[in-house]
Amino acid sequence: MASIRSWLSAVICLLPSASLAATLLASHYSGTIYTLDLEVTNGNGTLKVKSTGKAGVTQPAWITFDSEDRILYVNDENWRGRPGGMSALSVKEDGSVTLAASAQTSGGQVHSTLYGGSNGRGFIATTEYDLSTLTTYQLPLTASTQPVEKLKFTMSGRGPNAMRQDRPHPHSVWTDPTGKFLLSADLGADLVRIYRIDATTGKLTECPAAQTGPGDGPRHGAWWAPKAGSTEGLMLYVVNELANSVTVWQTAYPSGDGGCLSLKKTQSAPTYPAGKTAPQGSKAAEVRVAGNFVYASNRNDRTYGAKEDSMATYSIDAASGAIKFLEQTSAHGWFPRTFVINKAGDMVAIGGQTSANVAVVARDVQSGKLGELIATIPLGSPGTVNNEDGLSAVIWDE
Average pLDDT, the chain: 95
Rg of the chain, C-alpha, whole Å: 21
Average pLDDT over every residue of 198-212 = 99
Q: What is the pLDDT of residue 292?
A: 98
Give the Cα separation of 4 and 89 in Å (integer).
49
Question: Global pTM?
Answer: 0.95
Give the Cα separation of 38 and 374 in Å (integer).
9
No. of H helices and E strands in the chain?
1, 28
Q: What is the pLDDT of residue 256?
A: 85
Strands in 147-152's sheet, in edge-to-edge order, are: 109-115, 123-128, 133-138, 147-152
Q: What is the pLDDT of residue 81?
A: 65
**Count of other CB atoms within 10 angstroms of residue 44:** 11
Q: Is a pLDDT exceeding 50 seen at residue 84?
A: yes
Give the Cα separation of 266 and 252 in Å (integer).
13
- pLDDT band at residue 19 under the 50/70/90 scheme: confident
Give the single-character DSSP code of 199: T
Give the Cα separation of 183 and 229 in Å (integer).
19
Q: What is the pLDDT of residues 215-231, one digit of tens each?
A: 999 999 999 999 988 99
Average pLDDT over every residue of 251-272 = 97
Closest to 192 (Cα-Cα) out of 231, 218, 154? 218
Identify any residues that bridge with 22 across adjacent strands, giving them in sequence order.
38
Average pLDDT over every residue of 293-297 = 99
Q: Is a pLDDT exceeding 70 seen at residue 2?
A: no
Q: What is the pLDDT of residues 175-191, one digit of tens each?
A: 999 999 999 999 999 99
Q: Measuring CA to CA, how many Å separate 350 from each of 7, 62, 219, 236, 303?
A: 41, 14, 17, 22, 16
Q: What residues does each domain of the chain span?
A: 18-396
Average pLDDT over every residue of 307-319 = 99
CATH class of 18-396: mainly beta
Amino acid identity of residue 309, one-letter, is D
Q: Is a pLDDT exceeding 80 seen at residue 4?
A: no
Question: How many residues are listed for the chain in this entry?
Answer: 398
| CB 395, CB 35: distance < 8 Å | no
Give the Cα separation of 383 and 67 in Å (integer).
29
Q: What is the pLDDT of residues 327-339, one digit of tens each?
A: 999 999 999 999 9
Outline where DSSP puts E strands in 198-346.
204-211, 218-224, 235-240, 245-252, 262-270, 283-290, 293-299, 310-316, 323-330, 336-341
Contacts of 78 (CB under 8 A, 6+ apart): 57, 58, 59, 84, 85, 107, 108
Q: What is the pLDDT of residues 89-147, one digit of tens each?
A: 999 999 999 999 999 999 999 999 999 999 999 999 999 999 999 999 999 999 999 99
